Chains A and B, each alone.
Chain A
Amino acid sequence: MAWAKKLLRVNLAKGEVASEPLNMEWAGEYIGQRGLATRYLVAETDPKCDPLGADNKMIFATGPLTGTAVSTGGRYSVITKSPLTGAVACSNSGGFLGAELKSAGWDMIIFEGKSPKPVMLRIVNERAELVDAADLWGKSVWETDKLIHDKYQDAQIRIAAVGRAAESGCLYSAIINDLHRAAGRSGVGAVMASKNLKAVAVRGSRGVGGVKDPARFMKSVAEQKKVLAENPVTGKGLPALGTQVLMNVVNEIGALPANNMRDVQFDGASKISGEAMLEPRPGDGKPNLTTNAACFGCTIACGRISTIDKNHFSVENKPEYWGNSGGLEYEAAWAMGADTGVSDMDAITYTNFICNEDGMDPISFGATVAAAMELFELGAITTKQTGGVELKFGSAEALTWCADQVATGQGFGKELGLGSKRLCEKYGHPELSMTVKGQEFPAYDPRGIQGMGLTYATSNRGACHLRSYTVASEVLGIPEKTDPLVTDGKAGLVKAFQDATAAVDSLGICVFTTFAWTLDNIAPQVDAACDGEWSVDRLLEAGERIWNLERDYNMKAGISGADDKLPERLLKEAAKTGPAKGKVNGLEKMLPEYYKLRGWTKDGQLTDKVRKQFALPA
């Protein structure tokens, strides 16, 4: 088991909540979380529906290992149709909410319809109710969190909420839980706000029962925690420097996109790196990083808790930002730093705080600002649109101004909130949008890391590094080193990462465990916890099934193989510096091989054979 075998259905239009049994046949095929929730989305919604309309559904889903003693077992995902991409959205978050939901006795929550007025869902174990949230609407995530805790006088309530960015229609708005953990990508926050759902507040005290073989499970969990502790990445590197350890690595290898991906290296990289977060600041002599932090059940603890220098212009006279809060992760530091040309660590820590406070995806936000800066440089956007602000690459003042504007949906912030694709189209330069399927790129330039080009192009949720993190192999040598500058063998690598990651994302554990664990380490824990027999092969088969199901959903939503593409810049403008100098991404060499390995048609369509192999729904 490990599944609670129960889901909560919330009909927002009628204001009703109901319990129903989890479809265990589907759980056997799609595991939980990402996979199982996608199966429900496919069964219950029209892929062509308006993402922000009442017909779209939104699912909060845990995995079978969420809330158990397994390391990192606190994950949940939000699955819905994305308003940013029109594709399936699946945004994975840590923190404590997922485990709390499971401890309250629920595997998932399906939200359907649209509430006529602002509401929040309150769950206390088996009891669930919709509560009026008129007093919360218009408030930031942080204010909302405090008001709910104050109202119910229970510090242990775990809360996920949307902020003012989502309320004002920002298409990359996030759902934030536990103040600074995020279901960040693809605009799931906008879907939640479109349903007039402000927050989900959960208190669960039942614990997670039903583990198939508790003694074997605890033994396996202890053994595998030891593997994480003894591995230099998960035991040492990530707790000490967080994901930000990558900033200097990726810059050195010449794959750090900068200035809206015009460049592949950034002069200011070391100033905004994980190493720099440990060094005393010139202003107050304190380091940016206060401590590391862990999500529920995590024995890695890569999270960053940071402060901003009180004298920095961004927080002058704003004491509410003087304390500790969620600090920079690599992707956020890259998007708001290198991609905008800003090397002011305090400024990007401030914009990171704002992304958490009002619920924005820092990757899409930073990349959209970068696109706007290039448009400004060309004269396509002027101070007329910005109300006098000079949107120049490298300007920390412009960056912090943009964050404040998008967070509250004011003025030009409304346009920035549309994301880079719509912004660049509006101002006549669609070629400047560094996106795939409408979603902004993360922090690895596919000219310098070839496999990531295929990763981005074929990702089922638009440009994303977490769907197949070939960086691990191409740059970091995990599990084995491959050459980042060649395309040979990358199709197989991408497929292998995609399938394995889909399985991991469906279990309730963090993908960062896979820097030390393979499925050989994971399968015994799943097998001891869950009904049935769970081998590596079965997990991989489920992962491949999930990948194909997501692809099928997207195809039915109107996306095709023609959308498996990269912006021209990455295919035609060669890298100017570093080891990749003179190179573009070789997507055209990798894509046909990838389709073949997937068993799809030459134009990327699923075949009947694949449908039958994975018993996909019609």
Chain B
Amino acid sequence: MQVTFKLFATLMRHLPPGAKRHAVTLEFGAGEAVTPNQLIERFAVPRSEVHLVLVNGVYLAEDGRDTPLRDGDQLAIWPPVAGG
């Protein structure tokens, strides 16, 4: 299973070296489950800075972040941001 993990804005510093376009591709064994919260944990992203969580561009509310990701999912995370 393949999942793309993206960190933006001030969270970029938590990406491993070699990340391209703010993203890394992660491989998991067949049948291995991984949730957004587990990836947030693994890359040491402070929970207090996790605000906007999108899976394939769709907002994932806090109570949905323990649901396993599926093959090909793109997980993107921002701290609180705004502009205009």
Question: Taking A232-B51, A270-B22, A579-B57 as contacts, is the C-beta distance between A252 and B84 under 8 angstroms?
Answer: no
CA distance in complex: A240, B81 (Å): 10
B21 contacts A330, C-beta separation under 8 Å: no
CA distance in complex: A511, B82 (Å): 12
A240 contacts B9, C-beta separation under 8 Å: yes
Complex interface: chain B residues within 8 A of A253 (CB)? 54, 57-59
Who on chain A is nearest to B10 by CB? A240
Complex interface: chain A residues within 8 A of B6 (CB)? 252
A residues 471-515 near B (Cβ < 8 Å) are 471-472, 475-478, 481, 483-484, 511-512, 515
Complex interface: chain B residues within 8 A of A245 (CB)? 8-9, 78, 81-83
B61 contacts A275, C-beta separation under 8 Å: no
Instruction: Select B83's contact among A231, A330, A481, A484, beta carbons within 8 Å.
Output: A330
Complex interface: chain A residues within 8 A of B10 (CB)? 236-237, 240-241
Instruction: Select A249's contact among B21, B52, B61, beta carbons within 8 Å.
Output: B52
Residue in B9, B52, B83 with the greatest tally of chain A CB atoms within 10 Å: B83
B82 contacts A515, C-beta separation under 8 Å: yes
C-beta contact mask, B1-28 vs A, less than 8 Å → 1, else 0? 0000010111010000000011000000
Complex interface: chain B residues within 8 A of A270 (CB)? 21-22
A246 contacts B81, C-beta separation under 8 Å: yes
Complex interface: chain A residues within 8 A of B83 (CB)? 238, 242-246, 302, 329-330
A232 contacts B22, C-beta separation under 8 Å: no
Minimum CB–CB distance for A455 against chain B, Å: 12
Task: Assess whether B56 is interfacial by the CB under 8 Å rule.
Answer: yes
B9 contacts A252, C-beta separation under 8 Å: no
Complex interface: chain B residues within 8 A of A329 (CB)? 83
CA distance in complex: A329, B84 (Å): 8
A241 contacts B84, C-beta separation under 8 Å: no
CA distance in complex: A475, B76 (Å): 13
B residues 52-84 near A (Cβ < 8 Å) are 52, 54, 56-59, 61, 74, 76, 78-84
Complex interface: chain A residues within 8 A of B21 (CB)? 270
How many residues on the B side are at the interface (Cβ–Cβ under 8 A)? 25
Complex interface: chain B residues within 8 A of A579 (CB)? 56-58
Minimum CB–CB distance for A186 against chain B, Å: 17
Task: Assess whether A439 is interfacial by the CB under 8 Å rule.
Answer: no
Task: Assess whether B49 is interfacial by the CB under 8 Å rule.
Answer: yes
A232 contacts B79, C-beta separation under 8 Å: yes
Minimum CB–CB distance for B29 against chain A, Å: 27
Minimum CB–CB distance for A569 against chain B, Å: 21
Complex interface: chain A residues within 8 A of B22 (CB)? 248, 270, 275
A238 contacts B58, C-beta separation under 8 Å: no
Question: Taking A249-B52, A253-B54, A579-B58 as contacts, is the C-beta distance between A471 and B84 under 8 angstroms?
Answer: yes
Question: Taking A237-B9, A270-B22, A275-B12 as contacts, is the C-beta distance between A249 and B58 under 8 angstroms?
Answer: no
Minimum CB–CB distance for B70 against chain A, Å: 15
Minimum CB–CB distance for B44 against chain A, Å: 18
Task: Assess whether A547 is interfacial by the CB under 8 Å rule.
Answer: no
Who on chain B is nearest to A269 by CB? B21
B51 contacts A477, C-beta separation under 8 Å: yes
A477 contacts B79, C-beta separation under 8 Å: no
B79 contacts A236, C-beta separation under 8 Å: yes
CA distance in complex: A216, B37 (Å): 45
Complex interface: chain B residues within 8 A of A231 (CB)? 80
Complex interface: chain B residues within 8 A of A244 (CB)? 83
Task: Assess whether A258 is interfacial by the CB under 8 Å rule.
Answer: no
Who on chain B is nearest to A474 by CB? B59
Complex interface: chain A residues within 8 A of B78 (CB)? 245, 249
C-beta contact mask, A212-237 vs B, less than 8 Å → 1, else 0? 00000000000000000001110011
Task: Assess whether A326 is interfacial by the CB under 8 Å rule.
Answer: no
B84 contacts A237, C-beta separation under 8 Å: no
Who on chain A is nearest to B54 by CB? A252
A275 contacts B8, C-beta separation under 8 Å: yes
A274 contacts B84, C-beta separation under 8 Å: no
Minimum CB–CB distance for A509 against chain B, Å: 14
Task: Assess whether A578 is interfacial by the CB under 8 Å rule.
Answer: yes
Minimum CB–CB distance for B4 against chain A, Å: 11
CA distance in complex: A579, B59 (Å): 10
Task: Assess whether A391 is interfacial by the CB under 8 Å rule.
Answer: no
Who on chain A is nearest to B12 by CB? A275
CA distance in complex: A242, B10 (Å): 12
Task: Assess whether A189 is interfacial by the CB under 8 Å rule.
Answer: no
Who on chain B is nearest to A302 by CB? B83
Complex interface: chain B residues within 8 A of A330 (CB)? 83-84
Who on chain B is nearest to A270 by CB? B21
Task: Assess whether A254 is interfacial by the CB under 8 Å rule.
Answer: yes
CA distance in complex: A511, B74 (Å): 33
CA distance in complex: A232, B82 (Å): 10
CA distance in complex: A244, B82 (Å): 9
CA distance in complex: A578, B58 (Å): 9
Question: Taking A274-B9, A275-B8, A579-B57 as contacts, is the C-beta distance between A476 and B76 under 8 angstroms?
Answer: no
CA distance in complex: A477, B49 (Å): 14
Complex interface: chain A residues within 8 A of B58 (CB)? 253, 579
B54 contacts A237, C-beta separation under 8 Å: no
A241 contacts B81, C-beta separation under 8 Å: yes
Minimum CB–CB distance for A396 against chain B, Å: 19
Question: Taking A232-B51, A477-B51 as contacts, is the C-beta distance between A237 and B81 under 8 angstroms?
Answer: yes
CA distance in complex: A151, B56 (Å): 58
Task: Assess whether A595 is interfacial by the CB under 8 Å rule.
Answer: no
A-B pairs with beta carbons under 8 Å apart, 19 shown = A232-B51, A233-B80, A237-B82, A238-B83, A240-B10, A241-B9, A243-B83, A246-B83, A249-B52, A253-B54, A253-B59, A275-B22, A331-B84, A469-B84, A476-B82, A477-B59, A512-B82, A515-B82, A578-B57
9 extra interchain contacts, Cβ-Cβ under 8 A, other than A237-B10, A242-B83, A476-B82? A237-B9, A238-B83, A245-B83, A248-B76, A249-B8, A302-B83, A469-B84, A471-B84, A579-B58
10 closest Cβ pairs, A-B complex? A243-B83, A232-B80, A246-B83, A579-B57, A515-B82, A237-B81, A270-B21, A245-B81, A233-B82, A579-B58
